[in-house]
Structure 1
Amino acid sequence: MTLTEASDALARGDITSEALTATALDRLEQTGKPLNAVIALNRENALEQARDCDKARARGDRCGVLHGIPLAHKDLFYRAGRVSTYGSAIREGFVPSVTATALTRLDNAGALDIATLALSEFAFSPTGFNRRFGSGRNPWNSKHIAGGSSSGSAIATAGRMVFGALGTDTGGSIRHPAAACGVVGLKPTLGRVSRFGVGPLSASLDCVGPIARTARDCARLLSVIAGQDAADPSASLADVPDYEATLDGNLTGLRIAVPRAFHDAPLIAEVAQKLEASIEVLRARGAQIIDCPAPDLGPANALGQAVMAVEAAAVHRPWLAERRDDYAEVVRSRIEPGLFLSATQYMNALRARRQVLQDYMNVVFAQADLVHLPMFASAVPTIAQTTEGPPEIIAASLSALTAFTRSLNFLGLPAISVPAGFTENGLPAAFQLAGRPFAEATLLHAADAYQMDTDWHRKLPPV
């Protein structure tokens, strides 16, 4: 079942939260751990909470929209009194005194938090690489990357271990693993979801969002976690719409821009074919497809990289001074350059954001509501292809994974990754939709309509 299907089944009394939670815990133990998706299970407390949910429903208590649904989340969402490792040796014993606002809102909606899920070390890898806890392994083929940095969130969702999970996205870290594992990943507008109680990487780029099997599931999760937060001054004050209300499958009048140049040289043929097929499904649902020039992603990618390097270096400077050797070299080598960029360079990058965003909007959204983009230029690679060989080859491979995602973080725009089939190596393919600021409802509307006419989200991985 998907998240919303499970919620409906619970409401009808077809199944109990205790049964769902026990199954989820077993699958996390038996399947999640071998795939390096799990940091820690919360078994006894989760089962006790599930039984309490069943009793509350039996009494006729008023229940939240996620009542009794077992979820698990990336291990950088703080819960007071529980260890939060951030996927690192350095934070392995860190116990926060606060709980993330996003987790509190899920609690209030009745969801169960049954485990902490793996991630790239300090959320700093698009592949799911982690030297300390083991790199994430793709549930479709364990020799391949799961994507990162929210690797465990995508593995656990795709592997039918939980019904959904929260992740964070600084350069694609929700969308990468969602695409690689064949599930839906939503990066909201910068500030749409509070980041209070979430381990930081880059304050100007970090976003919190859901990973789930379907766009409808993501809509329900986003409706719960989005909104202003007195504990996070950067959280938007904009009203939160009912994201499920418009999921009717009718895309008549929706204009989707397609930068065809991105479908040419950068993409291998089978990936380009999957993208074209997804466009035709959206067209058949009533969307108007508009060819547009390809926006120049270079300035946004370069400026975003500079901002991330400086802000990450500011977070990590004390640990780099005290425990430099506890970092994986590939992680440390991405953080340390930020120590040498000047305040002037950093401020110039931030100042340039408005103009770069305006240029992007002028090219892509002049006559369209959404833009259709690739996720990856090639098939999902093996772990060996992203860790072995000359450093310059590995660096190029990692850069290719983020080519179509990093710019959207710098611009603060929302985007969603949607499953679109499989490549010849048996790994999932995906496309990406991006929108104007706070266009999450439109993104979810389009993605849900696409999933009404496709069944990629129904496919089961070998696990």
Structure 2
Amino acid sequence: MKNTPTLASLADDLENGRTSARKLVDECLARIADSSGEGARAFLHVDAEAAIEAAEAMDRLREVKAAPSPFAGIPVSIKDLFDIKGQVTRAGSRALEDSAPADADAPVVARLRRAGFIVIGRTNMTEFAYSGIGINPHYGTPKGAWQRGVGHVPGGSSSGAAVSVVDRMAHGALGTDTGGSCRIPAAYNGIVGFKPTQRRVPLDGGVPLSFTLDSFGPLARSVGCCAVLDAVLANEAIVPLQPRPIKGMRLAVPTTVALDELDDEVARIFERALETLSRQGALIERIAVPEFLDIGLMNAKGGFAAAESYAWHRYLIASKGNVYDSRVSLRILRGESISAADYIDLLGARKSLIARATVHLAPYDAMVLPTTANTPPRIADLADDKAFTKANLLSLRNCSLINMIDGCAISLPCHRKGEVPVGFMLAASGGSDRRIFELAAAMEGVIRV
């Protein structure tokens, strides 16, 4: 993505007077307002006046050498799942439209603002974040970057987040990831998406899907961009990213579950990326990961997402279930039949899963696997519920493996110009976030060549 702005290049332009925060905001607002683009479907709310005022404030601070960070003045988008002071958090649903406005920013939003990032608007999403496809029947579905004239799904649930970045309506995005909702839309749109270790980033101020599996993470144009945003979200120092040498990397390709039912183009492009890394000296080993077989059994009744979303939604869905997307309410209501004993069993099974997977993966720097088993489906092909369900499962399957083992993961584009977007995922056990960034930073420049 040569000549595509990154956070680092924008920060340099701001520092050296080649652009201003006001100019960046004006450009993003113009793209959002462009009737020929996806802005009307990618964004549910745009507070142009507040964004302009914030940009002008950052420009004044930079003039007197008081900018809160080098990135102050760069516009970012916020998924509609997060509280923004004075705004209603709808979570992509009509059921929350009459809720009271938030009285405070979510901690992650507050941290972005504190670093000087400009909140450009709230992005569209799958209702209540309960799908990897990105379709929203209430507010429309933004078309993904691939063959836009045809109309392919953007991936979900952070659909508008990815489209806002790829279309330069924002220069980074805040998303969530319960089973791939940062990584799937990143893969489908040819950008980078990161799922942090859950415990690093506070979950307050976001509408939950599964408080066991939810993570809050960034979508952006490069590994370095995601690393900057992740550090801000985790309230950590922004440290220059040092790519690790590819030669000598120990990479495990899980042959259990993760390579099943791959679309032909996904399999071909993924294998090509592996060959490229191998030629550069990476040590790639294909391994069985029997722990992954347990996950299907754990999710047989709906798993954590069904149980925990039902607990949150049960009163709302009783009073306003008629305005829910039926595909979403059906999945939530599966949680009604999960007993307390079932849920306790789930907790115990996951604890064992995490412990066993951590030991199994310890000898490797990372696992590598396709982000999704499928390429972005056409929106028109998913009107049928069976087709939707199949595509949704294939989009979520690989990503959700990492949430279940409490890991961290990043999705990098590995397709070449003119090819269908395919994501290449690096993943590791929880707490390995920095290592994943360093590995990914080395890979991103070579796996698409």
Same fold (TM over 0.5): yes
Q: For residue 336 of structure 1, what is the amino acid of its counterpart? A: L
- Counterpart position of 1:191: 199
Q: Describe the SS at the equivalent of 2:368.
A: strand
Distance 1:197 1:165, change over 3 A: same
Contact kept, 8 Å, 2:83 with 2:104, in 1: the verdict is yes
Equivalent residue runs for 1:167-246 within 5 Å: 167-227=175-235, 240=236, 242=238, 244-246=239-241
Q: TM-score, normalised by structure 2?
A: 0.92
- Counterpart position of 2:65: 60
- Ranges in structure 1 where 5+ consecutive residues have no aligned partner: 228-239, 457-463
Contact kept, 8 Å, 1:140 with 1:181, in 2: the verdict is yes
- Once residues 19 and 134 of structure 2 are traced to their aligned partners in structure 1, the CA distance between those partners, rounded to angstroms, is 34
Match 2:325 to one of 303, 328, 337 = 328
- Once residues 21 and 347 of structure 1 are traced to their aligned partners in structure 2, the CA distance between those partners, rounded to angstroms, is 48
Q: How many residues are treated as equivalent by the alignment?
A: 439
- Once residues 376 and 84 of structure 1 are traced to their aligned partners in structure 2, the CA distance between those partners, rounded to angstroms, is 29
- Once residues 281 and 85 of structure 1 are traced to their aligned partners in structure 2, the CA distance between those partners, rounded to angstroms, is 44
Match 2:17 to one of 13, 19, 28 = 13
What's the CA shift for 1:402?
1.2
Contact kept, 8 Å, 1:88 with 1:122, in 2: the verdict is yes
- Once residues 205 and 82 of structure 1 are traced to their aligned partners in structure 2, the CA distance between those partners, rounded to angstroms, is 26
Q: Describe the SS at the equivalent of 1:125.
A: coil
Q: Describe the SS at the equivalent of 1:373.
A: strand
**1:182-238 per-position Cα deviation (integer Å, ceiling 9, x unaligned):** 1100001121111111111111111000000000000001111114xxxxxxxxxxx
- Once residues 107 and 153 of structure 1 are traced to their aligned partners in structure 2, the CA distance between those partners, rounded to angstroms, is 17
Equivalent residue runs for 1:38-117 within 5 Å: 38-94=43-99, 95-117=101-123
Q: For residue 22 of structure 1, what is the amino acid of its counterpart? A: D
Match 1:379 to one of 375, 379, 396 = 375
Contact kept, 8 Å, 1:266 with 1:377, in 2: the verdict is yes
Q: For residue 391 of structure 2, what is the amino acid of its counterpart? A: S
- Ranges in structure 2 where 5+ consecutive residues have no aligned partner: none
What's the CA shift for 1:452?
2.6
Matched, 1:29 2:33: yes
Contact kept, 8 Å, 2:187 with 2:371, in 1: the verdict is yes
**1:398-432 per-position Cα deviation (integer Å, ceiling 9, x unaligned):** 211111111211221101111011598x5311111
Q: Describe the SS at the equivalent of 1:274.
A: helix
Contact kept, 8 Å, 1:63 with 1:110, in 2: the verdict is yes
What's the CA shift for 1:9?
1.0
Q: Percent identity?
A: 32
Q: For residue 200 of structure 1, what is the amino acid of its counterpart? A: P
Contact kept, 8 Å, 2:154 with 2:189, in 1: the verdict is yes
Q: Describe the SS at the equivalent of 1:404.
A: helix
Provide the aligned C-alpha RMSD in A.
2.1
Contact kept, 8 Å, 1:80 with 1:96, in 2: the verdict is yes
- Counterpart position of 1:343: 340
Matched, 1:140 2:146: yes
What's the CA shift for 1:275?
1.0
**1:323-343 per-position Cα deviation (integer Å, ceiling 9, x unaligned):** 110111101100001011100
Match 1:279 to one of 247, 265, 274 = 274
Distance 1:8 1:302, change over 3 A: farther
**1:217-268 per-position Cα deviation (integer Å, ceiling 9, x unaligned):** 00001111114xxxxxxxxxxxx465x4342352344311112466765223
